[in-house]
Structure 1
Amino acid sequence: MLILFSFLMANTVLISCLLGMTIAFYALLRRVENCKIPDRDLPFISVVIPARNEEAKIGRCLESMLAQNYPNFEIVVIDDRSTDKTAEIIESYAKKDNRIKFVRGKDAPDGWVGKCNALAFAVGFASGDWYIFTDADTCHQPNSLRDAIGYAITNKVDLVSFVPLQELGSFFERMVMTVLLSSFVLGDAFHTVNDPLAKRAYAYGQYIICRRRPYLALGGHQSVRDTIVEDHALGRVFKEKGYKIAVADGKNLYRVRMYMDLDSMWQGWTKNLYSLIDSSPVHLLCILSSLNMTVVMPFINVLIVASLWISHPADHFTPFSTMLVACQFLMLIVWFRLTAEHRTGVNPLYFLTMPFGAACVTMLHLHSAYLVLFGKEVSWKGRRYTVNTSKTIRSHRAGQETLENALSSDSGE
């Protein structure tokens, strides 16, 4: 009985740490104020949007961009070799508004991630003093560009990205991504990314703003061309070269619908989830054990406590165990409510699906790790990559040369 009580106590402490780190994340997350810079002093900016097979979302994105209250900007939209009607939709908008430049993408060279290739090509058509990279599945508030640029200029940063408001529509999005996205806040609870002296560097790829000059000086997306998590890599390149980067709250600037169904969500996360945790088996073990102990175990503890009341109702540990489990649930509810700040479309009753969501997140992590560790291909929007533990994709040419060398060696023997 004492062992069980000690376990429940340790479990409660772990959940309190989870809650404490989450509170720290939201307390320390930098807010974006309304821009106070006069129109005449705002720079000309280029919004660069890559789009591949986004016929269901690109129209909404462009509509939101055209409705911006920013006085001086252009939109460079590149169709990244889409196989659906994305290109036709972009072209129709470009014909109606001359602020839109429609660019047809080219096939990615060997060793390039498709998105990096598209962005590296698209910036050749951009002429702004600042580049804004945003995804086709985003939808921006009318104040988005003005307040984002205002934040960057006021805080004198060279690159800044913004935490999005996540739109969750389908059942599996709500069940799985509620847990997955909530767990991400623990990756940098104290926002050390904003500390110039700290090594940690990353960016939220859905919405990145950077100065044109350092971006081009560092090689832009060509410098991260083979990196599967290119947004994190770009932030790291900036910071390692001494440029100032930052992350701020973007929930009042834009929202994003990353995936529409289970299949796209599974492919999207398995392609880079293991890379997001630095391709580390130790990190994987820590994340999965912590996730299941904090999200799944309290629901199991309810059954354990119920059995105690049946088998040991007179034991003095039983009421104390009950109070511990009640505290666990109270903290989980607060955690669920806090993390709701950056998601929409989720009914509070989805709290009850969290153990199943955690189980799915566990499978996502394990599957992503399996694909990397065993050299299996990941698939995303019709493209296939083999991701290394260095978080880069394997060159097909290098693989072919390895095969040719092996065949030559066999024939020589």
Structure 2
Amino acid sequence: MRISVIVPAYNEEAVIGRCLEALVTQTVPADEIIVVDNNSSDRTVEVAEQFSEHGVRVVRETRQGVVYARNRGFDEATGDILGRIDSDTMVGPEWVGRLAEAFATDPKGMPAAVTGPSWFYDIPMRRFGLFAHRLFCHQVNRLISGHPMLWGSNMAVSRECWAKVRDHACTGTGLWEDLDLAVHLHRLGLRVRYVDRLRVPVSARRIGATTRDLYSYLKAWPQTYRRHGQRRAAGGAMVFLLFGLVALRPFSLLVRAHTPYDGTLSLGRLFSRSSSASRPLP
């Protein structure tokens, strides 16, 4: 079973090096690692190409948007299993091995896709972050939609699955491309397996955004369901979105004030007007 790992990247020089370092030091090596550069204007490509001797390949996708970068990576990949993480994901050394195990040992037969939860490596209260991610990303989506969610920072699809869903997946803006893919897999009768032990650490940079920026990102959640005519799920997503903005705001402020380099809290960061994307990362 050959495993390819695809990493879409847009202006990710701050994190892409650590992401790739984690991928090339797996106990069970990936057969192929593809970084899809999506018009980066920083040193993303330069940093990624430093891993070429470890088999990392950089391809370019000029159509802007993570869905186009993801599709290009999946289309370029040669593996039987197509893994997909984000540039700020830092997989543990067992991730590729556990991914292969998840596809090979499912008692219900080989699934079409596999996904798992995340915790946040650059903030305190990591156990709470894992709990919140399980709740809002996976359990809530299953509750309101009746089918599992895919988490773009920690997922994989089989090559056979991608061939079936490729032309159904939506493109464009205003959608969560991973949730969109999960909706289409469900409609095609293709099964997603959630594996709790397939955990990966990711950055909390988006959580530390201003309320306006965080809402701008999260509103794509109900919009994705609405785009597919799932009005009940869209309504449920909006309710949980608004609840989450209020209930998790103290946690968001803590994230915003936290300095990932030394673990201290900074009032200057707390009152900064900068977007979450510009947050310094370890």
TM-score, scaled to structure 1: 0.50
- 2:68 alignment counterpart: 117
1:247 CA displacement:
1.8
2:94 is aligned with 1:102:
no
Counterpart residue identity of residue 158, structure 1: A
Instruction: Flag the structure with more relative contact order, 1 or 2, with Cα contacts below 8 A and sequence separation at least 6.
Output: 1
Gaps of 5+ in 1: 1-42, 109-113, 297-335, 337-344, 351-378, 383-413
User: Is the contact made by 2:4 and 2:32 (CA closer than 8 Å) also made in structure 1?
Assistant: yes
Count of equivalent residues: 243
1:270 CA displacement:
2.8
How many angstroms apart in 2 are the aligned matches of 1:140 and 1:289?
A: 30
1:228 CA displacement:
1.6
Counterpart residue identity of residue 67, structure 2: C
How many angstroms apart in 1 are the aligned matches of 2:16 and 2:240?
A: 38
Counterpart residue identity of residue 148, structure 2: A
2:83 is aligned with 1:83:
no
Q: Of Structure 1 and Structure 2, which has the larger fraction of its residues in helix? A: 1
1:190 CA displacement:
8.2
How many angstroms apart in 1 are the aligned matches of 2:200 and 2:19?
A: 10
How many angstroms apart in 1 are the aligned matches of 2:205 and 2:140?
A: 28
User: Is the contact made by 2:218 and 2:241 (CA closer than 8 Å) also made in structure 1?
Assistant: no
2:166 is aligned with 1:219:
yes
Post-superposition CA distance 1:241-268 (Å, at most 9, x none)? 11111222246x421014178458963x
1:91 CA displacement:
1.4
Counterpart residue identity of residue 60, structure 2: R
User: Is the contact made by 1:137 and 1:258 (CA closer than 8 Å) also made in structure 2?
Assistant: no
Structure possessing the higher radius of gyration over alpha carbons: 1
- 1:230 alignment counterpart: 177
Q: C-alpha root-mean-square deviation of aligned residues, in Å?
A: 3.9
How many angstroms apart in 1 are the aligned matches of 2:217 and 2:196?
A: 23
Q: Could you say if the C-alpha distance between residues 225 and 274 of structure 1 is closer, same or farther in structure 2, counting changes exceeding 3 Å? A: same
- 1:240 alignment counterpart: 187
2:27 is aligned with 1:50:
no
- 1:154 alignment counterpart: 105
- 1:311 alignment counterpart: none
TM-score, scaled to structure 2: 0.71
User: Is the contact made by 1:259 and 1:265 (CA closer than 8 Å) also made in structure 2?
Assistant: no
2:84 is aligned with 1:133:
yes
1:273 CA displacement:
1.1
Post-superposition CA distance 1:68-106 (Å, at most 9, x none)? 122451101111111111111111222x32x21111221
1:183 CA displacement:
7.8
User: Is the contact made by 2:113 and 2:161 (CA closer than 8 Å) also made in structure 1?
Assistant: no
How many angstroms apart in 1 are the aligned matches of 2:29 and 2:136?
A: 38
How many angstroms apart in 1 are the aligned matches of 2:58 and 2:36?
A: 6
Gaps of 5+ in 2: 227-233, 252-259, 266-274
Counterpart residue identity of residue 161, structure 1: T
1:286 CA displacement:
6.5
User: Alignment partner of 2:50: what SS?
Assistant: helix
Post-superposition CA distance 1:331-364 (Å, at most 9, x none)? xxxxx9xxxxxxxx8xxxx9xxxxxxxxxxxxxx
Greater alpha carbon shift after TM alignment, 141-150 vs 277-286:
277-286
> Which consecutive aligned stretches of 4+ in structure 1 deviate over 3 angstroms post-superposition?
178-181, 186-193, 260-267, 277-292, 379-382
Q: Could you say if the C-alpha distance between residues 266 and 149 of structure 1 is closer, same or farther in structure 2, counting changes exceeding 3 Å? A: farther
How many angstroms apart in 2 are the aligned matches of 1:76 and 1:189?
A: 30
Counterpart residue identity of residue 20, structure 2: L
User: Alignment partner of 1:223: what SS?
Assistant: coil
1:142 CA displacement:
1.0
